[in-house]
């Protein structure tokens, strides 16, 4: 079962309101906070993970043009680095090969299907533009363990958490919007906010990455019994 | 009386031998049968165990093989892996809009359909299905165009969704999930061994691969080729796949209830009749882990060879049994005869002995205890005969008490000649012989017998021994063959008793008009030789010595004196008190220089009347006077006893001597010249 709990404390401080009024017409604010990650321990116990990194926190509800610069998704040590790459729709990503060997970049996602072919590090790095928001998993057809999650977002209000789980989104357009957090293997957490212009909000989020297959009830609405026909495993 | 079953010994021996033989054979049969079937069971159990081990090993091999196949598919083939992963991630709702998950699944299904012909899939692996990370069907080989079915109905999918690798067995009825067919439709249900593995990137499941093959007859046949055990896979009360014939398989389904999976480990074997064949069967779990509730494995081995062996054994033992009965009959007969024949002979001989035939003997030569019994019996009969002979002989001469004592303590008997002091008793009837000539012999014999009865009775009453009858005389003695220190008083008492009896007898004889001869009794004590006298062939216990003659003389002297009982001085000296005696005379018998004093034994002391006592006293006074040559005085005294025989004789002798006085050397001894 995935439990979603929002423990955030939302504070609107009066001096921030007066500051926004003083700046005059700049309708953005800041959202900051931290994300807790619940993971299943070695013995199956669910607990807070010490490593809260790798969570993308982003805002949905408005669109912004992409930045000019290209994002980089390197192929290094037979891994995609970073494993999770958030960017803004319309932004291009360059895929440099930093290994000695050949790599390939391709996706069969319905958001974006492409195949950049196989190339080595001395070849010019190839790039690809991601126009449509959504999750585009990127693979290498040579190395089965290589995967990167390219998260194509609507705007620039996003951040990746560090080990402490803290994030800070600046320049978030004020108004009614949704704050989301996601990481591979977890289900997205979303929180609706009303961000005043020039204001700042502190939000605590909790992300559960405890179960691969989401809880599921039988068609008659009852839970499954423990598998009776289960017959051995390894 | 209730009828009692009498069985002959022979019958009993037969019955016992046959019973033992039958029991031994029955036990042997039971043991052999038990051993044969037990061995069959043990061998079968071992074969079952090996087969199960082989099956499980095979299962694991198959699982590894299928696992390798899945690895090959999911790792080496970028299409399968990335299509599954992409389809799984299409379900992620990041709040960014985009394509619908259904479209993504459709796209993935199409991509997999396109890729299928190039997938190097073993055609045996008829079950090939792919699901996304949420358990939705992406592609099934048996139903290629279907997708989106919720495979989380399957425990296997839920298990694999958690990142585990698992092996599963299911009936193909179960393989149709949420409307999608995972395995090809067979005419009859099939059990599948299905391997499920996740497609994992990092630690995140991006899809599920299911790959399985049917557990079919072909697999079981290959197992049987190795183990020689018939096999059946059963589920829902029927044999899904089996190496048995169709008819036997159908019967197996009906008898599955008798083969319930037990809690016991190891599972117990059961016997099962399928058609005309008998099987040992074992129901086992398909995998030694958690059992599938309604699918299991049945191992069967025909008991036909073992039952045939037991049948042969029974026939052999039956033949052996018949032979043994015949042998038992013969041996029983021989054994019984060895016992019963001698026993019957013994019984016959014992009856003869009981009938008084002490010469009965048995001849038994069996060489065993029975022969010893026969010998003992013969010894007993001989002993009986000997004792009976001795006893009957003895009792005629000695009293029963002496005879008994003799028989009891033969050591006291000195049959060899030995000098010892005895008292001898002579009895005779006076003048009977001439009388007897006038009587018929029968009357003589009858009268003699009465007389002998009286005398012998008196002798035997005093434990005397009757030595012999001499005509109408009787000789008896005391002090032999057993020592009797009081031989003289005993003889004296016997003499008085005999005298009394004879007195009465004579009265009876007179009363009936028969002749009543007088009697004479003489007693003498002397050292005599007593013992067996005669040849080895024929002898008698006799007494020899001069004393015998003297005794006879003393007896005869009664005639002279007119007395009945006379004893020698030797006897008188041994009498002691208790007798009334009087000295009669001092005589010298013919052939003996030594004179002998003669005493009349009158009566037992105290039994004599005053008259008799006076008579004795007077006579002794007269005798004293006579010896003192006072013949006149003696005659005077004797004149008072006119009826007394000795007195009359002494008186006449006194008168003669008075008339012609004897010389001075006269010693008053009377020479008895007649016999």
- Partners of A137 on chain B (C-beta within 8 Å) are 82, 85-86, 89
What's the mean pLDDT in B318-338?
84
- Partners of B103 on chain A (C-beta within 8 Å) are 110
Q: CB–CB of B83 and A214 under 8 A?
A: no
A172 pLDDT higher than 80: yes
Terminal CA-to-CA distance of chain B, rounded, Å?
A: 75
- Partners of B104 on chain A (C-beta within 8 Å) are 109-110
- Partners of A154 on chain B (C-beta within 8 Å) are 96
Q: For residue B101, what is the nearest residue in chain A, using CA coordinates? A: A110
Between residues B123 and A171, the one the model is more confident about? A171
B560 pLDDT higher than 90: no
Q: CB–CB of B152 and A213 under 8 A?
A: yes
Task: Note whether B27 and B107 are same-domain residues.
Answer: yes
Q: For residue B290, what is the nearest residue in chain A, using CA coordinates? A: A231
Between residues B641 and B414, the one the model is more confident about? B641
Domain endpoint, select from B213, B248, B265: B213
Q: For residue A178, what is the nearest residue in chain B, using CA coordinates? A: B95
pLDDT of the residue at B165: 82
Nearest chain B CA: its distance from A214 CA (Å): 7
Task: Note whether B237 and B190 are same-domain residues.
Answer: no
CATH code of B275's domain:
3.40.1840
Instruction: Give the model confidence (pLDDT) of A174-221 as tens digits.
Output: 999 999 999 988 889 999 999 999 889 999 999 887 655 555 555 566
Between residues A22 and A98, the one the model is more confident about? A98
pLDDT of the residue at B397: 63
pLDDT of the residue at B267: 75
pLDDT of the residue at A8: 35
Task: Note whether B291 and B158 are same-domain residues.
Answer: no
What's the mean pLDDT in A88-100?
94
Under 8 Å CB-to-CB from B127, ≥6 apart: which residues? B141, B142, B175, B182, B183, B192, B194, B210, B211, B212, B213, B214
CA–CA distance, A205 with A4 (Å, rounded to integer): 9
CATH code of B550's domain:
3.30.70.1230
pLDDT of the residue at B41: 86
- Which of A83, A151, A233 is nearest residue B166 as measured by Cβ atoms? A233
CA–CA distance, B589 with B593 (Å, rounded to integer): 8
Does the residue B635 lie in any domain? Answer: no
pLDDT of the residue at B61: 86
Q: CB–CB of B202 and A147 under 8 A?
A: yes
- Which of A212, A224, A232 is nearest residue B205 as measured by Cβ atoms? A212
Instruction: Give the model confidence (pLDDT) of B252-289 as tens digits.
Output: 888 887 777 666 667 788 888 888 888 888 888 776 44
Instruction: Give the model confidence (pLDDT) of B459-498 as tens digits.
Output: 988 888 888 888 888 998 888 777 888 999 999 999 999 9
pLDDT of the residue at B543: 81
Does the residue B596 lie in any domain? Answer: no
Burial of A125 (0-12, 13-18, 19+ CB in 10 A): middle
Instruction: Give the model confidence (pLDDT) of A45-61 as tens digits.
Output: 777 888 888 899 999 98
Does the residue B231 lie in any domain? Answer: yes
Task: Note whether B196 and B281 are same-domain residues.
Answer: no
pLDDT of the residue at B3: 62
Q: CB–CB of A135 and B169 under 8 A?
A: no
Return the number of CB contacts < 8 Å for A and B.
Answer: 157
Pairing of strands B596-604, B579-589: antiparallel
Q: CB–CB of A109 and B75 under 8 A?
A: no
Mean pLDDT for chain B overall? 83
Nearest chain B CA: its distance from A202 CA (Å): 21
Q: For residue A191, what is the nearest residue in chain B, using CA coordinates? A: B95
The HSE-up count of residue A119 (CA atoms within 13 Å, CB side) is: 18
What's the mean pLDDT in B388-394?
74
What's the mean pLDDT in A118-131?
93
Its domain, for residue B23, covers: 10-92+99-213
pLDDT of the residue at B163: 78
CA–CA distance, A119 with A138 (Å, rounded to integer): 15
pLDDT of the residue at B102: 85
Q: CB–CB of A224 and B95 under 8 A?
A: no
pLDDT of the residue at A153: 95
Q: For residue A104, what is the nearest residue in chain B, using CA coordinates? A: B78
Best residue of B73, B92, B101, B112 to probe chain A, by most A CBs closer than 10 Å: B92
Q: CB–CB of B98 and A111 under 8 A?
A: yes
Split at pLDDT 50, 70, 90, the class of A1 is very low
Domains of chain B: total: 3
A5 pLDDT higher than 50: no
What's the mean pLDDT in B588-605?
87
CB B27 within 8 A of CB B19: no
CA–CA distance, B575 with B582 (Å, rounded to integer): 13
- Partners of B289 on chain A (C-beta within 8 Å) are 231-232
Mean pLDDT for chain A overall? 81
B391 pLDDT higher than 80: no
- Partners of A226 on chain B (C-beta within 8 Å) are 155
Task: Note whether B458 and B568 are same-domain residues.
Answer: yes
CATH code of B135's domain:
3.30.450.20
B1 pLDDT higher than 70: no
CB B620 within 8 A of CB B637: no
- Partners of B198 on chain A (C-beta within 8 Å) are 212
pLDDT of the residue at A167: 94
CA–CA distance, B486 with B525 (Å, rounded to integer): 11
CB B433 within 8 A of CB B423: no
Does the residue B396 lie in any domain? Answer: no
pLDDT of the residue at B291: 41
Does the residue B191 lie in any domain? Answer: yes
Go through B362-392 and write b for each residue having 16 or more CB atoms within 10 A of its CB, e for each that does not: bebeeeeebeebbeebbeebeeebeeeeeee
pLDDT of the residue at A194: 92
Which of A53-57, A62-66, B405-409 is the least confident region? B405-409
Q: What is the pTM of this model?
A: 0.56
Task: Note whether B197 and B239 are same-domain residues.
Answer: no
Of the candidates B294, B290, B174, the one whose C-alpha atom is nearest the C-alpha of residue B236 is B294
What's the mean pLDDT in B612-638?
87
Q: Which two tokens stand for residue B77?
A: 């083939």
- Which of A141, A178, A227 is nearest residue B159 as measured by Cβ atoms? A227
Task: Note whether B104 and B200 are same-domain residues.
Answer: yes
pLDDT of the residue at A93: 96
Does the residue B357 lie in any domain? Answer: no
B509-517 long-range contacts (CB < 8 A, ≥24 apart) are B509/B447, B514/B439, B514/B443, B514/B447, B515/B432, B515/B435, B515/B439, B515/B447, B517/B429, B517/B430, B517/B431, B517/B432, B517/B435
Task: Note whether B260 and B298 are same-domain residues.
Answer: yes
- Partners of B98 on chain A (C-beta within 8 Å) are 110-111, 132-135
Q: DSSP states of chain A as a string?
A: -------------HHHHHHHHHH-S--EEEEEEEEEEEEE-TTS-EEE-S---S-EEEEES---PPPSSPEE-EEETTEEESSEEEEETTEEEEE-B-SSS-EEEEEE-SS-EEEEEEE-TTSPPEEEEE-S-EEEEEE-SS-TT-EEEEEEESSS-EEE--TT-EEEEEEEEPEEEEEEEE-TTS--EEEEEEEPTT-EEEEEEEEEE--SSPP---TTSPPPPS-TTEEEE-
> What 3-state class would DSSP assign to B499?
helix
Helix H, strand E, coil C: the string for B341-372 is HHHHHHHHHHHHHHCCCCCCCCCCCCCCHHHH
Q: CB–CB of B95 and A178 under 8 A?
A: yes
Task: Note whether B80 and B193 are same-domain residues.
Answer: yes
What domains can be seen in chain A, in order of their start residue? 1-12+27-64+156-211 (2.60.40.10), 66-153 (2.60.40.420)
- Which of A214, A228, A233 is nearest residue B293 as measured by Cβ atoms? A228
Domain endpoint, select from B196, B213, B230: B213
Task: Note whether B167 and B224 are same-domain residues.
Answer: no
- Partners of A83 on chain B (C-beta within 8 Å) are 202
pLDDT of the residue at B289: 44
Task: Note whether B55 and B142 are same-domain residues.
Answer: yes
A16 pLDDT higher than 50: no
What's the mean pLDDT in B211-219?
85
CA–CA distance, A34 with B149 (Å, rounded to integer): 38
A42 pLDDT higher than 90: no
Instruction: Give the model confidence (pLDDT) of B79-133 as tens digits.
Output: 888 888 888 888 888 888 777 888 889 999 999 998 888 787 888 888 899 999 8
Phi, psi of A32 (to 5 degrees): -135, 165
Helix H, strand E, coil C: the string for A82-143 is CCEEEEECCEEEEECECCCCCEEEEEECCCCEEEEEEECCCCCCEEEEECCCEEEEEECCCC
pLDDT of the residue at A47: 78
Does the residue B630 lie in any domain? Answer: no
pLDDT of the residue at A151: 95
Task: Note whether B485 and B524 are same-domain residues.
Answer: yes
Domain endpoint, select from B180, B213, B246: B213
Split at pLDDT 50, 70, 90, the class of A65 is very high
Does the residue B165 lie in any domain? Answer: yes
């Amino acid at each position: 079962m995935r439990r979603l709990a929002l423990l955030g404390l939302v504070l609107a401080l009066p001096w921030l309101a007066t500051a926004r009024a003083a700046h005059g017409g700049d309708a953005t604010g800041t959202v900051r906070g931290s994300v807790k990650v619940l993971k299943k321990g070695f013995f199956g116990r669910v607990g807070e993970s010490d490593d809260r990194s790798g969570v993308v926190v982003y805002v949905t509800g408005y669109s912004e043009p992409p930045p000019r610069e290209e994002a980089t998704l390197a192929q290094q040590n037979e891994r995609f680095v970073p494993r999770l790459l958030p960017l803004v729709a319309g932004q291009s990503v360059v895929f440099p090969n930093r290994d000695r060997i050949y790599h390939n970049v391709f996706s069969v996602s319905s958001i974006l299907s492409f195949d950049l072919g196989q190339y080595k590090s001395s070849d010019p790095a190839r790039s690809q533009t991601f126009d449509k928001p959504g999750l585009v998993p990127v693979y290498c057809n040579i190395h089965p363990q290589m995967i990167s999650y390219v998260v194509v977002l609507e705007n620039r209000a996003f951040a990746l958490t560090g080990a402490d789980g803290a994030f800070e989104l600046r320049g978030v357009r004020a108004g009614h919007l949704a704050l989301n957090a996601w990481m591979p293997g977890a289900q997205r957490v979303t929180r609706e906010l009303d961000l005043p212009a020039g204001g700042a909000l502190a939000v605590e989020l909790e992300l559960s990455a405890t179960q691969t297959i989401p809880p599921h009830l039988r068609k008659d609405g009852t839970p499954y019994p423990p598998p009776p026909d289960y017959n051995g495993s390894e | 009386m209730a009828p009692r079953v009498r069985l002959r010994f022979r019958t009993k021996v037969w019955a016992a031998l046959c019973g033992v033989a039958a029991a031994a054979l029955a036990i042997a049969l039971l043991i052999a049968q038990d051993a044969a079937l037990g061995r069959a069971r043990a061998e079968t159990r071992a074969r079952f165990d090996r087969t199960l081990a082989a099956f499980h090993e095979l299962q694991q091999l198959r699982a590894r093989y299928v696992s390798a196949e899945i690895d090959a598919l999911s790792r080496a083939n970028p299409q399968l892996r990335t299509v599954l992963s992409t389809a799984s991630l299409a379900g992620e709702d990041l709040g960014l809009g985009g394509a619908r998950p259904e479209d993504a699944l459709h796209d993935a299904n199409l991509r997999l359909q396109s890729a299928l012909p190039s997938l190097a899939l073993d055609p045996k692996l008829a079950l090939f299905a792919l699901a996304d990370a949420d358990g939705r069907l992406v592609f099934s080989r048996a139903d290629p165009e279907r997708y989106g079915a919720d495979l989380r109905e399957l425990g296997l999918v839920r298990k694999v969704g958690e990142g585990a690798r698992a092996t599963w067995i299911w009936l193909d009825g179960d393989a149709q999930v949420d409307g999608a067919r995972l395995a090809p439709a067979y005419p009859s249900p099939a059990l599948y061994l299905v391997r499920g593995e996740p497609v994992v990137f990092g630690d995140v499941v991006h899809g599920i691969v299911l790959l399985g093959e049917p557990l079919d007859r072909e697999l079981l046949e290959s197992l049987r080729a190795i183990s020689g055990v018939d096999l059946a896979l059963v589920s829902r009360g029927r044999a899904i796949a089996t190496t048995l014939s169709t008819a036997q398989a159908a019967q197996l389904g009906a008898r599955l209830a008798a083969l319930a999976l037990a809690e016991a480990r190891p599972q117990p074997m059961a016997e099962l009749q399928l058609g005309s064949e008998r099987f040992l069967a074992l129901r086992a779990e398909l995998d030694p882990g958690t059992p599938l509730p309604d699918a299991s494995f049945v191992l069967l081995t025909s008991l036909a060879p073992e039952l045939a062996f037991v049948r042969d054994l029974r026939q052999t033992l039956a033949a052996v049994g018949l032979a043994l009965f015949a042998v038992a009959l013969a041996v029983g007969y021989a054994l019984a005869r060895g016992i019963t024949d001698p026993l019957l002979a013994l019984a016959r001989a014992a009856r003869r002995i009981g009938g008084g035939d002490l010469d009965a003997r048995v001849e038994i030569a069996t060489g065993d205890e029975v022969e010893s019994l026969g010998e003992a019996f013969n010894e007993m009969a001989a002993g009986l005969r000997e004792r009976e002979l001795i006893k009957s002989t003895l009792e005629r001469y000695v009293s029963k008490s002496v005879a008994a004592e003799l028989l009891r303590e033969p050591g006291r008997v000195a049959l060899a000649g030995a000098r010892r002091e005895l008292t001898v008793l002579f009895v005779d009837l006076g003048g009977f012989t001439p009388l007897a000539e006038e009587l018929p012999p029968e009357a003589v014999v009858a009268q003699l017998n009465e007389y002998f009865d009286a005398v012998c009775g008196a002798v035997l009453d005093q434990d005397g021994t009757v030595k012999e009858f001499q005509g109408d005389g009787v000789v008896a003695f005391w002090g032999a063959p057993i020592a009797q220190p009081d031989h003289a008083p005993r003889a004296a008492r016997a003499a008085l008793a005999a005298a009394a009896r004879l007195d009465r007898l004579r009265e009876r004889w007179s009363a009936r008009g028969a002749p009543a001869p007088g009697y004479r009794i003489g007693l003498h004590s002397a050292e005599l030789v007593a013992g067996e006298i005669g040849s080895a062939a024929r002898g008698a216990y006799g007494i020899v010595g001069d004393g015998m003659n003297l005794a006879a003389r003393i007896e005869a002297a009664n005639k002279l004196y007119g007395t009945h009982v006379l004893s020698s001085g030797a006897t008188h000296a041994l009498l002691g008190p208790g007798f009334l005696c009087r000295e009669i005379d001092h005589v010298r018998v013919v052939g003996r220089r030594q004179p002998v004093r003669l005493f009349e034994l009158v009566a037992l002391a105290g039994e004599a009347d005053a008259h008799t006592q006076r008579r004795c006293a007077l006579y002794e006074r007269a005798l004293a006077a006579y010896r003192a040559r006072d013949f006149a005085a003696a005659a005077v005294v004797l004149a008072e006893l006119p009826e007394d025989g000795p007195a009359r004789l002494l008186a006449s002798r006194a008168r003669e001597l008075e008339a012609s006085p004897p010389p001075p050397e006269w010693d008053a001894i009377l020479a008895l010249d007649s016999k």
